[in-house]
């Protein structure tokens, strides 16, 4: 129980920040929600005891907001559309404050550091820590959002699909090790699409355009070096809608290291659409599949 502690939420796009805010309240905490302008769900206002908005590069303003709200701990939840950081003249639109400028200078100005997700998010977390607000994993406050192992929804997996999963799992782990993406789409042990800056949903839809035959298997895993404070694999209803649009028939995730948002809605959609959702534990880079009985969830 959080016993009245005010937890900060840096809220990006999607339902995930809403789910985290609701969980914090269930556990007896208060929420100070800081919505990233141009990203966050308008529903967040009703989940917040304290609410504000900030630009994606206004790091100093974000720290000051949480300090005023009495937050010693905060978490990141929701997607930041990284493509906006690489838009033409992006810095003129993002307008970093002084702390943001210092944080991002090595990445975008002097170019002494790279711009992989881990590099950028670690820099942000370090700035918050220096400002007296510790960035924590969202699952510290909402552990019930983590996926259990087993067959979670949809039909059992055929042997050919199990082979695709094992193949895709190895690819996804290597993609994550390089900090490029977390998702791969395969068919008949051939890689159809690999996630990079475009994000999971667009990767899946691109695979559907490239492989009109359907029958795709989507594998989304945590990075081997996953920092649980940010960028945890997250599945929401939009992910399943992308699977259906692409003609994919299976989604495989990593048990204990994947966030499920609105799981009842997810599982109902999967059952209606005959999409399998299977959750596996990682062992030395291989997909060690549990018994996929229909009662394994």
pLDDT at site 296: 39
Whether the Cβ atoms of residue 293 and residue 168 lie closer than 8 Å to each other: no
Helix, strand, coil shares of the chain, percent, nearest 5, are: 40, 25, 35
- The residues, any chain, with a CB within 8 Å of residue 245's CB and separated by 6 or more, are 204, 205, 208
> Of 148, 138, 184, 160, which Cα lies nearest the Cα of 277?
148
- Tokens at residue 27, please? 């556990």
pLDDT at site 237: 96
Neighbours of 276 (CB within 10 A): 24
Neighbours of 42 (CB within 10 A): 7
pLDDT at site 83: 66
Length of the chain: 297
> Of 285, 263, 275, which Cα lies nearest the Cα of 169?
285
pLDDT at site 273: 97
Q: How many Cα atoms sit within 13 Å of 141 on the Cβ side?
A: 33
> Of 141, 154, 132, which Cα lies nearest the Cα of 266?
154
Neighbours of 59 (CB within 10 A): 24
Whole-angstrom CA distances from 291 to 27, 141, 274 are 33, 30, 19
| pLDDT one digit per residue (tens) for the chain, 297 residues | 788 999 999 999 889 999 999 999 999 999 999 999 878 777 788 889 999 999 988 999 999 999 999 999 999 999 887 666 666 665 666 688 999 999 988 987 888 999 888 889 999 999 999 999 999 999 999 999 999 999 999 999 988 899 999 999 999 999 999 999 999 999 999 999 999 989 999 999 999 999 999 999 999 999 999 999 988 999 999 999 999 999 999 999 999 999 999 999 999 999 999 999 999 988 644 444 545 544 433
| Reported pTM | 0.89
- Tokens at residue 236, please? 């929401």
Whether the Cβ atoms of residue 168 and residue 182 lie closer than 8 Å to each other: no
Neighbours of 169 (CB within 10 A): 24
- The residues, any chain, with a CB within 8 Å of residue 20's CB and separated by 6 or more, are 9, 75, 77, 138, 141, 142, 145
- Tokens at residue 225, please? 């070096």
How buried is residue 229: exposed, middle or buried, by Cβ count under 10 Å (0-12/13-18/19+)?
Answer: buried
- Tokens at residue 22, please? 């609701």
Neighbours of 175 (CB within 10 A): 21
Which domains does the chain show, CATH number per domain?
A: 6-140 (3.40.50.20), 146-288 (3.40.140.80)
């Amino acid at each position: 129980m959080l016993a009245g502690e005010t937890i900060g939420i840096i809220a990006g796009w999607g339902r995930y920040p809403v789910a985290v805010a609701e969980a914090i309240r269930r556990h007896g905490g208060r929420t100070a929600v800081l919505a990233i302008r141009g990203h966050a769900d308008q529903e967040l206002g009703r989940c917040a005891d304290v609410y504000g908005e900030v630009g994606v590069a206004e790091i100093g303003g974000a720290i000051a907001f949480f300090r005023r709200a009495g937050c010693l701990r905060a978490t990141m939840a929701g997607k930041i559309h990284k493509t906006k950081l690489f838009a033409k003249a992006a810095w003129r639109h993002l307008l970093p404050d002084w702390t943001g400028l210092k944080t991002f200078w090595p990445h975008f100005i002097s170019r002494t550091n790279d711009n992989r997700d881990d590099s950028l998010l670690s820099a942000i977390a370090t700035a918050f820590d220096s400002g007296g607000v510790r960035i924590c994993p969202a699952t510290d406050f909402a552990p019930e959002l983590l996926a259990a192992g087993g067959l979670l929804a949809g039909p059992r997996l055929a042997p050919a699909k199990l082979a695709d999963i094992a193949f895709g799992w190895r690819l996804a782990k290597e993609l994550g090790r390089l900090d490029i993406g977390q998702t791969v789409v395969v068919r008949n042990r051939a890689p159809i699409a690999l996630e990079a800056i475009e994000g999971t949903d667009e990767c899946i839809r691109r695979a559907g355009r490239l492989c009109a035959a359907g029958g795709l298997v989507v594998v989304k895993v945590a990075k081997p070096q996953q920092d649980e404070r940010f960028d945890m694999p997250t599945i929401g209803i939009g992910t399943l809608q992308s699977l259906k649009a692409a003609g994919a028939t299976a989604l495989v995730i990593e048990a204990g290291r994947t966030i499920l948002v609105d799981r009842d809605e997810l599982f109902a959609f999967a059952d209606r659409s005959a999409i399998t959702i299977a959750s596996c534990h990682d062992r030395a880079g291989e997909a060690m599949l549990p018994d996929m009985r229909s009662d394994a969830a």
